[in-house]
Chains A and B, each alone.
Chain A
Amino acid sequence: MTTTSVTRDDVLHLAQLASLQLTDDEVDALQADIGNILGYVAQLDELDTEGVEPTYQVTDLENVWRDDAVRLSNVGRQELLALAPDSHKNQIKVPKVL
């Protein structure tokens, strides 16, 4: 099986893009796994796709519209706020942003 070379810095950059704070062991394991998986999927290079349109979705639906109208949800504000790990005065509370 072929592997694609992925550096440790590549993994750390991806982790940053994906908002994952990985442990060192996880970085090592992912470096190897990502290389192997990219090596496997690289076989698509063999295919001639010149002039082929990409497929992004497989329904035959197009432009499904709905009325631009307010619909009442059957879930209330308090129920949704109660799901948040932390809230204060009807708002979701988070740590300092800046």
Chain B
Amino acid sequence: MSVISDYIGVSAVQNVKNAIEAAKRSEGFNALLSLSEERALERAAKVDAGEISGRLAGVPFVAKDNFLTLGGTTTAASDFLRGFASPLQATAVERLEAEGAICIGKSNLDAFAHGGSTENSAFGPTKNAVDDTKVAGGSSGGSAVVTALGIVPFAIGTDTGGSIRQPASFNGVVGVKPTYGTVSRYGVVAMASSTDTIGCFATNAADAELVMDIMAGKDANDMTTLPDFFAPEQPATLKIGVIKEAMTDDVDAEVRASVQAYVDGLKAAGHTVEDVSLPMLKYALAIYYIVVPAEISSNLARYDGIRYGNRADATDLTGVYGKSRDAGFMAENKRRIMIGSYVLSSGFFDAYYLQAQKARTLLIGEFDKLFERYDTLVTPVAPTPAFAIGENATDPVKMYLADVMTVPASLAGLPAISVPANPTAAGLPVGVQLIGPRRSDARLLALAKSQEVA
């Protein structure tokens, strides 16, 4: 694995060449969907000539392929957008480039970011960085794997219900899902607008902190962005609650042991640690799989084969819509669009969608109450380490259960980060999730930094 400081003050062109060579050597992982070699080398030459400078001058990175970027394609890992070349670039990418960072390519994901394994990609699954028989996690699986393999020191992704945190956990890197509204989503393929966030992967918390500091802030092109509140903090002594409903027998014993060891480390460092209860945790996944498909069905209505993307042959307009959408979406995309259409349809709206949004209020209320007494909450990131490729592919509900620990923070808009803990006996990475109140992102990263083994 590599850290950002390794890339500063050396030849940017060499950095980019090294990263692209490393990417080509690692093609077997299927973590990258495209490389933008030409544009990356052009930018690197400008950094070396002193024309571009900044806090990430000459540092290569990878963007999940649902960020619009210049100099290549943006596919969202779907057939719908296969070959799509965007005429504009996402604000998050623009901000990193303004500090001299260089995007070398785009990473694989579950198509339209629907999934928790990066198996639902039109370009095939990404393999886990540590064990290539296991899934990468998802949906930002490719970004997690390129970071874990050391191809780049950081990568960016999106997290709607765990899509950064869970693959970070499965591949042994730091993953940050910020407070809702921290980073502009302009130029990012929309999934569920009330929980979509932009974050990053890095090999340590200090690097993640730098990347978030650069990406955070208000953007006139995304009305949901908050005024920039992110400022790196010094670690403080905290009151920490371990959510007991997340540490039951339903969670893999090795994962629990690993989280417990991290918690013991927090105690040893002088933090106050207590067990706390979040009874609504068990309902969070059900809330999520009503609210999010509803928003997906609405957001994905724009893919109609008319203005952009791939159009299927048909003799009338209804046929163009129907056939383009059938051909362009993966099975999981269709499942979510159909569920969303169901829960929003007249006759079922109150029973499903409205009930879920009320239950969401109850969940948020429980978090608020805990944050009156605790600074940070701790859970595992996922109930298991990375599972085998194909293992959960035929049972959507089983696949959704991998999100059970990560969706609560998403529904409440809270910052949550995944930090590596002790691996399993078989060597598979395990992540601990640190959750804080809104706008406490920097405090979570300071805590993670203080617990890292030098």
Q: Which residues of B in the span 210-264 have a Cβ within 8 Å of any Cβ on A? A: 220, 223-224, 226
Bound-state CA distance A47–B361 (Å) is 12
> Is B326 a contact of A54 with CB atoms below 8 Å?
no
Partner of A34, one of B301, B317, B338, B361: B338
The answer to whether B60 has its CB under 8 Å from any CB of chain A is no
Q: Are A59 and B413 in contact (CB under 8 A)?
A: yes
**Chain B residue at minimal CB-CB distance from A67:** B220
- Whether, in the assembled complex, A86 has its beta carbon less than 8 Å from a beta carbon of chain B, the answer is yes
Contact with B along A35-46 (1 / 0, CB 8 A): 011101111110
Contact of B320 among A22, A49, A95 (CB under 8 A): A95
Determine the main DSSP class of B at the interface with A: helix
* Chain A residue at minimum C-beta to C-beta distance from B363: A55
State in angstroms the CA–CA spacing of A15 and B180 once bound together.
32
Is B305 a contact of A85 with CB atoms below 8 Å? yes
Kindly state the separation between the CA atoms of A86 and B317 in the bound complex, as whole angstroms. 13
Expressed in whole angstroms, the minimum distance between the Cβ of A44 and any Cβ of chain B is: 5
Which listed residue, B88, B226, B311, B342, touches A59 by the CB 8 Å rule?
A: B226
1/0 per residue, CB under 8 A from B, across A42-62: the answer is 111101010011111111110
B19 within 8 Å of A (CB atoms): no
Is there contact, CB below 8 Å, between A83 and B339? no
Please give me the residue from chain B that is nearest to A16 by CB atom.
B322
Most A-side CB within 10 Å, residue of B87, B226, B297, B301:
B87
Of the residues A23, A49, A58, A94, contact of B180 by C-beta under 8 Å: A58
Task: Please tell me if A9 contacts chain B, counting CB pairs below 8 Å.
Answer: no
Neighbouring B residues of A19 by C-beta, 8 Å:
301, 304, 318, 321-322, 325
B210 to A: closest C-beta gap in Å = 25
Report whether A54 and B357 are in contact in the complex, using a CB–CB cutoff of 8 Å.
yes
Task: Please determine whether B315 and A14 come into contact, CB atoms closer than 8 angstroms.
Answer: no
Bound: A59/B195 CA distance, A: 10
Q: Which residues of B contact A20 (CB under 8 A)?
A: 322, 325-326, 329, 334, 337-338
Q: What are 18 contact pairs spanning A and B, CB under 8 A?
A: A14-B345, A15-B338, A18-B341, A19-B321, A19-B322, A20-B338, A26-B331, A41-B289, A44-B352, A44-B359, A45-B351, A47-B283, A49-B359, A52-B358, A74-B88, A80-B307, A85-B306, A95-B319
